[in-house]
Amino acid sequence: MRYGIFSDIHSNLEAFGEVLNAYKNEGIDRYICVGDIVGYGVDARGCIEMIKGLGAGIVCGNHDRASVGLFSTAYFNRIARLAVEWTSEILGEEEKEFLRPLELVIDERDFTVVHGSLHKPGLFYYMTDIPSAKRCFLNMEKGLCFVGHSHIPGVFFMDEDRIDYSMETSIKLKQGVKYIVNVGSVGQPRDNNPLAAYSIFDSEGKTVEIKRISYDIEGAKNKILKSSLPDILGYRLVEGR
């Protein structure tokens, strides 16, 4: 099967639309969302409506949970907290009912999906170094796990007891090696590359590709600047940070 696996849409309808258009040429059999459909951008409702049509497997992100009152905003910085509060106000009950039951972890046949880490997934820990990756590896039952949350694409891999990290965008999975793949962010990249990120996993070919695509960044930015969201959420789209 070919899986379209993406994360951290963050209410960016322009970016999400371009990613889905790109997937149309990739022969995707199933879609997987690694969380944070909402937050930061203005089009939470539009992004929820768009993802509903995919029949995707979806795990919840911290913004998804916080926007429906299931995760405390005490864990957020001031800008993120304001974005959560704004998003919660504009979401209708139908959208909230869609977000509330999303699971913290889902298992597909060949891989596991979690937004932050398999180590206490409900606390949404960031995986930014070898020690935090090790805690996730110790909780893995399958050889492959997809994550998001940091908005930075890359892969941790564990061969026996050795853990390494790579920012390669084309990965050939090896027998006996475990992998944690961060697929980056559709709607708010933070690796100094403003292009929307998305990935493809081929379960037969045992390959993972992380791809980038341009979208109407100025349009997404200007929507934020015209809203009551903090301006920085618009300007950071241009810089990819």
pLDDT of residue 119: 97
Is this prediction's pTM over 0.85?
yes
Task: Encode pLDDT of 134-148 as tens digits.
Answer: 999 999 999 999 999
Q: Which amino acid is at 25?
A: N
Of 211, 209, 183, nearest in space to 2 by CA: 209
Token pair in block for residue 220: 């997404």
Kind of pairing between the strands at 105-107 and 207-213:
unpaired
| Homologous superfamily (CATH) for 2-113+185-239 | Metallo-dependent phosphatases (3.60.21.10)
Q: Which long-range contacts (CB under 8 A, 24 or more apart) does 158-164 make?
A: 158/133, 158/134, 163/130, 163/133, 163/134, 163/137
Q: What angle do CA 205, 206, 211 make, to 5 degrees?
A: 95
pLDDT in tens, 46-66: 999 999 999 999 999 999 999
Q: CA-CA distance, 36 to 42, in Å (whole number)?
A: 13
Q: Quote the pLDDT of residue 234.
A: 97
For the chain, percent of residues with pLDDT exceeding 70:
100
- Tell me how far apart the alpha carbons of residues 67 and 50 are, in angstroms, rounded to a whole number: 18
- What stretches in the chain show pLDDT beneath 50? none
* Gap between the Cα atoms of 160 and 51, Å rounded: 38
Residue 148 · residue 183 · CB < 8 Å = yes
Question: What's residue 161's pLDDT?
Answer: 86
- Domain map (residue ranges) of the chain: 2-113+185-239
